[in-house]
């Protein structure tokens, strides 16, 4: 179930929130778990086995967590089993076919593909479960004795499918005891509406441009259209993902949870290093905590740091998708960050305007590598951006795109900056504070209208 | 106690929710793959699903289509020379046959009859010869009416001198009420477009955007459009273009936009052709794969051909000209 759909907004949410509000505090986790299970089941209804998979995974990790506490000298074994299961599932469902395809290609074999559909949210909940297990192993958290509480943490519907990736330590206290004030509810609703607006009014509208270019064929579009394309894609990706994260955070707040921020205006960054501290913050934090630091971080010499960063960025790229372009993208990020570490970063720091120009070019270009899986098509698009790449069939096509998407592009650029938020906060403190609620209600209404009219696109990150 | 009441209320809500969920899931179509490519058009009318006998129809219809396929492949191959009367008659006969068959199928709803009639009537029907290679300037008095495919043709491979009345999302439900920019005449509606210039031929390609709606209503409105064209352009030749197939990747998973439904609709449209002033053109054979779906190499979104293939489409149109 997509958050930006009528069945979620008009059916699921009212029932869920009403039941949740009415049930006494003791049983709130059970109710939340019930609705989260229903939410997940609805999403995997075509492949009901995946519902069993996630339930079994939660139970296995719950048992292993408690086993680690009960038999602490065998902790390592239990951790190994747990991680093997968790990442094993992720590997089989997400990466097996990639490896099979490449083995077949390079070794000439004919290993059959699994053709398995990706279980909903597996990339996200695998990381969450693994973080729990590792934290229990390290002793930073006490294992959860109540399976319902652990299940609520992992399956909690706001962040189950598309993040933010919440570490158990972040919400452990709130799982057991949380209160929701009316201020939290209002605040949560506001954040949710902002997220919804970003997704429906900005991301979905901009998404058409990239789709159109794909339908026409990259070799046939004009250079100007190609640049508009990656600009639109960059904005769409940001509003889609950050909108979804905000909806998750807003919902969490209404339920009494305080999920960590996942995006902090990444497009105003002045370097790639800074960008990845503002984009998908929880993923970066996960990799830092569970891969970079265990490998030694930057405390084992330059060469080792180099290697550690290489591993982290390759895995980050690979997490996003099981294909060569994602590995290439991860490697590209690694190279850019290394260059910045080697001194370019200091230069960017000192030259404000240059750094913004640099990032304005680099962000869409790096997203291009992320967006196109076929390496040949990627090459064509790159050539197209710089004047080559095949015969342009319609030289004025960019005018048509500006006509259809110009307004959305301008709005997108505006909302990628902190200016609207700054203005909203000022409004809040002024005498016309009521206006902000009217504004948000307008956003909600407009979004619902767009959803009703079917101007709706699936979330780009749902392939994860 | 207050908490008991609210607990009971809460649980009742959960039960009602479960029932609602069970009902909605049982009625739900197979959930769309989340990487589903959106159709570029916005759906104006909302759907009633086509009845189950479409699949039966599709099976036999496929047979009919494949016959037509062979026919057109032959035609394309022979257009370089002057229309060979023998080949033309055979071609025409088979084409006419499939049209006749189509009509009978709608009335009788029999599927086996389709195959049989095809063979029998070959020799006995009167055959006018048509379809030749377009002479120079043939498209100077042509008008193309259609949806996003026609928009693609207009933008990416326009035929010299032709006018285009097209928009993304056009369907038989909105074709007559919308305005579009027409070459040098500003933004005008269909009626004004048809009245403003003498056209020798009018090509119409609509259908994909109303596939989910009631078939009879679709055909009624299609007929209205044909009548409007006739009214203002009584001497123009009308070419009804078959709707393009979607790729297998879409056809297999989409309950609405699949080739069984498209073929069924095309079959109904073919019945409008009389092969004297109104002809039925099916471009699908040049883009189809062996299973009758749009070839994967021709499309990036499973629904539209890449812009560079509109040139082939135009060659097809040039090869299927009618000169009277």
Check CB contact under 8 Å for B25 and A394. Answer: no
Interface test mutation site (partner A, options B21, B169, B313, max chain A beta carbons within 10 A): B21
Query: For residue A43, what is the nearest residue in chain B, using CA coordinates?
Result: B31
| Binary contact (B6, A38; C-beta < 8 A) | no
- The alpha carbons of chain A give a radius of gyration, in whole angstroms, of 23
Cα angle value A271/A275/A277 (rounded, 5°)? 120
CA A167, chain centre distance (Å): 15
Taking chain A, what is the end-to-end CA distance rounded to the nearest angstrom? 15
Residue A361: per-residue pLDDT = 95
Residue A264 clears pLDDT 80, i.e. is over it: yes
**Least trusted range by pLDDT, from A438-452, B82-96, B127-141, B298-312:** B82-96
Per the structure block, which two tokens stand in for B118? 């095809």
pLDDT in tens, B195-241: 989 999 999 999 888 887 888 898 999 999 999 999 999 999 999 99
**Sheet containing strand B278-281, strands side by side:** B163-166, B142-146, B201-205, B237-241, B278-281
For B288, which DSSP code? B
Average of pLDDT values for A135-139?
A: 93
pLDDT at A59 over 80: yes
The confidence band for B257, taking pLDDT boundaries of 50, 70 and 90, is confident
Of B3, B14, B17, the CB nearest to A24: B3
Q: Which residues contact A439 (CB under 8 A, 6 or more apart)?
A: A424, A427
Return the number of CB contacts < 8 Å for A and B.
106
CA atoms within 13 A on the CB side of B235: 7
Q: Which of A35, A45, A458 sits opposite B35 (nearest CB)?
A: A458
Chain A CB contacts of B13 under 8 Å are: 15, 18-19, 22
Q: Does the interface ipTM go beyond 0.90?
A: no
Residue contact B17–A391, C-beta within 8 A: no
Paired tokens of A233: 């894609």
Q: Is the pLDDT at A382 greater than 90, yes or no?
A: yes
* Mean pLDDT (chain B, rounded): 71
Please say if the pLDDT value at position A330 is more than 70. Answer: yes
Do B7 and A19 make contact, defined as CB atoms within 8 angstroms?
no
Cβ distance B17 to A212 less than 8 Å, yes or no, reads no
Look at the pTM and tell me if it is higher than 0.80: yes
Which of A206-210, B37-41, B147-151 has the lowest average pLDDT? B37-41
Residue A459, pLDDT score: 43
Q: Which pLDDT does position A162 carry in this prediction?
A: 86
Q: What share of chain A has pLDDT > 70, as a percent? A: 98
Picking from B306, B310, B311, B314 by the largest number of A CB atoms within 10 A of its own CB, the best residue to mutate is B306
The mean pLDDT of B69-76, rounded to a whole number, is: 26
Residues of A with Cβ-Cβ distance to B30 under 8 angstroms: 46
Closest Cβ opposite residue A211 in set B3, B20, B38: B38
Please give the pLDDT value at position A58: 95
The pair of three-digit structure tokens given for residue B177, joined into one six-digit string: 């009420």
Distance of CA B83 to the CA centre of its chain: 27
Burial of residue A5, with CB atoms counted within 10 A of its CB: 0-12 exposed, 13-18 middle, 19 or more buried? middle
- Integer CA distances (angstroms), B62 to A272, B95, B103, B270, in order: 55, 14, 16, 14
A320 is known as an active-site residue: yes
Measuring CA to CA, which residue among B165, B167, B150 is closest to residue B241?
Answer: B150
- Helix, coil or strand: residue A453: coil
Q: Where are the beta strands (DSSP E) in A71-151?
A: none
Q: What is the dihedral of CA A78, A80, A85, A91, to 10 degrees?
A: 170
Closest CA to B277 of B230, B207, B222, B318: B230
Report CB contact under 8 Å: B36, A27: no
Mean pLDDT of chain A: 91
- Residue B168: pLDDT band (50, 70, 90) is confident
With bands split at pLDDT 50, 70 and 90, how would you rate the model's confidence at B255? confident
* Confidence tier at B129 by pLDDT (50, 70, 90): low
Which residues 6+ apart lie within 8 Å of A155 measured at CB? A33, A36, A37, A40, A54, A58, A125
Cα–Cα distance, A256 to A32 (Å, whole number) = 11
Question: Which region among A101-115, A443-457, B162-176 has the lowest average model confidence (pLDDT)?
Answer: A443-457
Report residue A456's pLDDT band, with 50, 70 and 90 as the boundaries: low
Backbone angles phi, psi at A181, to 5 degrees: -90, 165
For residues A175-197, give the mean pLDDT. Answer: 93
Does A211 contact B304 at a Cβ distance shorter than 8 Å? Answer: no
């Amino acid at each position: 179930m997509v958050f930006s759909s009528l069945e979620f907004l008009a059916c699921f949410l009212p029932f869920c929130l009403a039941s949740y509000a009415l049930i006494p505090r003791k049983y709130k986790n059970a109710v939340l778990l019930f609705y989260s299970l229903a939410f997940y089941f609805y999403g995997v209804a075509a492949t009901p086995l995946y519902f069993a998979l996630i339930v079994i995974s939660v139970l296995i990790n719950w048992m292993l967590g408690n086993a680690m506490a009960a038999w602490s000298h065998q902790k390592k074994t239990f951790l190994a089993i747990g991680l093997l299961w968790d990442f094993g599932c992720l590997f089989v469902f997400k990466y097996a076919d990639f490896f099979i395809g490449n083995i077949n290609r390079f070794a000439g074999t004919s290993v059959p593909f699994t053709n398995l559909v990706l279980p909903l949210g597996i990339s996200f909940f695998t990381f969450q479960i693994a973080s729990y297990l590792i934290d229990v192993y390290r002793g930073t958290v006490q294992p959860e004795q109540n399976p319902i509480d652990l299940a609520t943490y992992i399956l909690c519907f706001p962040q189950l499918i598309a993040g933010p990736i919440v570490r158990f330590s972040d919400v452990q206290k709130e799982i057991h005891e949380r209160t929701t004030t009316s201020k939290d509810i209002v605040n949560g609703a506001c954040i949710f509406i902002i997220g919804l607006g970003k997704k429906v009014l900005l991301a979905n509208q901009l998404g058409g441009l990239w789709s159109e270019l794909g339908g026409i064929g990259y070799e046939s579009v004009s250079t100007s259209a190609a640049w508009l394309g990656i600009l639109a894609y960059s904005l769409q990706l940001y509003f889609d993902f950050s909108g979804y994260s905000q909806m998750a955070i807003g919902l969490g707040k209404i339920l009494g949870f305080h999920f960590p921020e996942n995006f902090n205006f990444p497009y105003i960054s002045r370097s790639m290093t800074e960008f990845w501290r503002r984009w998908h913050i929880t993923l970066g934090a996960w990799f830092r905590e569970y891969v970079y630091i265990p490998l030694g971080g930057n405390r084992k010499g330059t060469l080792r740091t180099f290697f550690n960063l290489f591993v982290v960025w390759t895995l980050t790229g690979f997490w996003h998708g099981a294909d060569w372009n994602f590995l290439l993208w991860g490697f590209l990020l690694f190279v850019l960050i290394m260059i910045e570490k080697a001194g370019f970063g200091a230069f960017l720091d000192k030259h404000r305007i240059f750094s913004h120009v640099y990032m304005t070019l680099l962000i869409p270009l790096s997203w291009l590598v992320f967006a196109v899986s076929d390496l040949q098509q990627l090459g064509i698009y790159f050539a197209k951006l710089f004047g080559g790449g095949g015969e342009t069939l319609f030289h004025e096509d960019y005018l048509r795109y500006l006509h259809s998407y110009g307004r959305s592009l301008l709005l997108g650029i505006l909302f990628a900056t902190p200016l609207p938020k700054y203005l909203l906060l000022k409004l809040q403190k002024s005498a016309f504070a009521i206006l902000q609620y009217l504004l948000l209600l307008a956003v909600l209404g407009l979004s619902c209208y767009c959803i009703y009219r079917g101007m709706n696109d699936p979330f780009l990150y749902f392939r994860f | 106690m207050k908490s008991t009441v609210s607990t009971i209320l809460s649980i009742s809500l959960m039960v009602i929710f479960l029932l609602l969920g069970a009902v909605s899931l049982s009625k739900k179509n197979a959930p769309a793959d989340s990487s589903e490519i959106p159709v570029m058009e916005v759906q104006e009318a909302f759907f009633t699903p086509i009845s189950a006998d479409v699949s039966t129809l599709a099976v036999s219809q496929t047979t009919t289509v494949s016959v037509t396929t062979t026919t057109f492949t032959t035609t394309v191959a022979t257009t370089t020379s002057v229309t060979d009367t023998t080949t033309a008659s055979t071609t025409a006969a088979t084409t006419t046959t499939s049209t006749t068959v189509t009509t009978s199928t709608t009335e009788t709803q029999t599927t086996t009859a389709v195959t049989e009639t095809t063979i029998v009537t070959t020799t006995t029907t009167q055959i006018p010869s048509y379809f030749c290679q377009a002479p120079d300037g043939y498209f100077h008095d042509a008008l193309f009416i259609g949806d996003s495919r026609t928009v693609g043709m207009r933008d990416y491979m326009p035929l010299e001198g032709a006018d285009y009345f097209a928009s993304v999302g056009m369907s038989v439900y909105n074709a007559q009420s919308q305005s579009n920019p027409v070459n040098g005449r500003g933004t005008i509606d269909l009626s004004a477009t048809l009245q403003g210039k003498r056209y020798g031929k009018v090509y119409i390609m609509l259908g994909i955007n109303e596939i989910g709606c009631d078939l009879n209503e679709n055909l009624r409105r299609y007929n209205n459009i044909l009548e409007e064209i006739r009214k203002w352009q009584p001497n123009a030749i009308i070419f009804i273009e078959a709707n393009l197939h979607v790729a297998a990747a879409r056809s297999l998973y989409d309950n609405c936009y699949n080739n069984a439904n498209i073929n069924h609709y095309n079959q109904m449209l073919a019945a409008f052709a009389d092969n004297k002033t109104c002809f039925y053109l099916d471009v699908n054979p040049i883009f189809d794969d062996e299973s009758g779906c749009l070839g994967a190499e021709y499309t990036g979104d499973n629904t539209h051909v890449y812009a560079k293939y509109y040139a082939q489409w135009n060659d097809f149109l040039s090869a299927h000209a009618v000169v009277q």
